[in-house]
Amino acid sequence: MPEPAGPPPATAPSATDPSCVDPSPSCVGPSSADPSVADLPAQVLALAAATPPGTRSGGDALSRITALVGQASQARQVIIRRIGTTDPATGPSEYVWSAPDAGAPQPDGTPAANPPGDGAGPASAVRVSRVVRHRGAQLAELSVELPAGMPDQIARTAASVEAVAAVLGGVLAAEALATELRAARNRSRAASERIADERHRAASQLEQQRQDLERDLHDGAQLHLVSLQMACAVLDHQVATGTADPRSRAEAVADLGTRLRHTRRLLAETAAGVAPAPLRTAGLAAALAAGLRGTRDVTLDVAAAVQARRYPHEVENALYLACMEAVSNAQKHAPGTPVRVEVRDTYHGLSFIVADEGPGVGGSAGATLGALRSRLASVGGTLTVRSEPGRGTAVTGTVPI
């Protein structure tokens, strides 16, 4: 006799079984998978790989991925919500795709007609959510909302969401690396531009300092060097002709030593960017008196009003050096002729005149005084030159106060 047949073996619930409502991969039969849904992970990776390099924070790829998942799973809404992202430079914190008939989404990403409750929508909708991880770190949440009453579709979509979430972690991690790389590249470019700008500024400042030093040496020390040259020439002539007695020669040599020490001190102060001591401590009148002391054929006349007050340092320094250069020019071009220096405080401002009784030059007498003119212009002053053949030259400068 044939043995009675035992109970039929237990089988897993089919995806078509109405009891299969658990949105998990175990409820999906291998033969019931929709090919378009089953291939979603590969399609997501292909879409991410096709995103053009340099796309801002991968936002275009994530928007297209939400649309791809939504259309393949016939979902009502798909949301990719980043976790812990607040920096605008990394792109939006949430990407939402809604089906055309799902209505406008609410601020929390759900359709207006079906706000979710307790993680799953109302009776007309089911929400399937998975956390997106990469190497154990939570990067985002993938949420897909499906119409209720379709258990087969819910089960298949749950499996696909699980698989998409698994590959999406690598996509988001690669996006984060690309964002960091772009930020590092931008910082490097900004640093390079800043270094180039600072290098240019430093070069410009060095050139300006060099020009200032050159001008100060020309305007200040030159007069003393010319005076030394003239004193040496006089002593040389006396020695060559035998017209000087030993005592006179000794006095001339001592005078040369004093001039040399004074000139050396002036050169050191100029190179260090320090104004002459009398100019720093006593003002313009005292500085001119000390600077022109011992200079032959030069008469200094400073008004009492100028002697009684101090002016801004940059104004005193500019007028002092301007006067010294003008006297030096007069001694070079009209040697041996009297030179008169006058400084006045008028309603036009602080002014000076350096006049000599030399032969004069006529024509464009001030064409060679560009440095002197620019020095006065740096403090708002002006320079005029009057020179006629046989009537000498007068250089006048004025700085408004």
Please report whether residue 251 resides in a domain: no
169 and 30 in one domain? Answer: yes
296 and 177 in one domain? Answer: no
200: buried, middle or exposed (CB in 10 Å: 19+, 13-18, 0-12)?
exposed
Give the range of the structural domain holding residue 189, as residue numbers without chain letter: 25-112+119-194
**Domains identified in the chain, total number:** 2
Please report whether residue 199 resides in a domain: no
Point out the domain boundary residue: 194, 222, 257.
194
Point out the domain boundary residue: 194, 219, 243.
194
Point out the domain boundary residue: 150, 168, 194.
194
Nearest partner of 111 among 159, 150, 138, 143, judged by Cα: 143
Please report whether residue 243 resides in a domain: no
49 and 186 in one domain? Answer: yes
Q: How far apart are CA 44 and CA 64, in angstroms?
A: 9
Please check whether residue 378 is in contact with residue 212, taking contact to mean a CB–CB distance below 8 angstroms.
no
Please report whether residue 205 resides in a domain: no
Please report whether residue 171 resides in a domain: yes
Nearest partner of 324 among 306, 300, 347, 307, judged by Cα: 300
Please report whether residue 179 resides in a domain: yes
Per-residue pLDDT of the chain (401 residues), as tens digits, is 444 444 444 443 333 343 333 333 333 333 334 546 668 888 888 888 887 654 544 457 888 888 988 888 888 899 998 887 656 555 668 889 998 876 544 444 444 444 443 344 445 788 888 899 888 888 889 999 988 777 777 787 788 888 888 888 888 888 888 888 888 999 999 998 888 888 777 766 666 666 666 666 666 666 667 777 777 877 777 778 877 788 777 877 777 777 777 777 767 666 655 667 788 889 999 999 988 887 788 999 999 999 999 999 889 988 998 998 888 888 888 888 899 999 999 999 999 999 998 888 765 555 567 778 888 988 899 999 998 888 889 999 999 98
Sheet of 125-134: strand order equals 94-98, 77-82, 137-147, 125-134
pTM over 0.75: no
Long-range contacts, stretch 4-9, CB < 8 angstroms, 24+ apart: none
314 and 174 in one domain? Answer: no
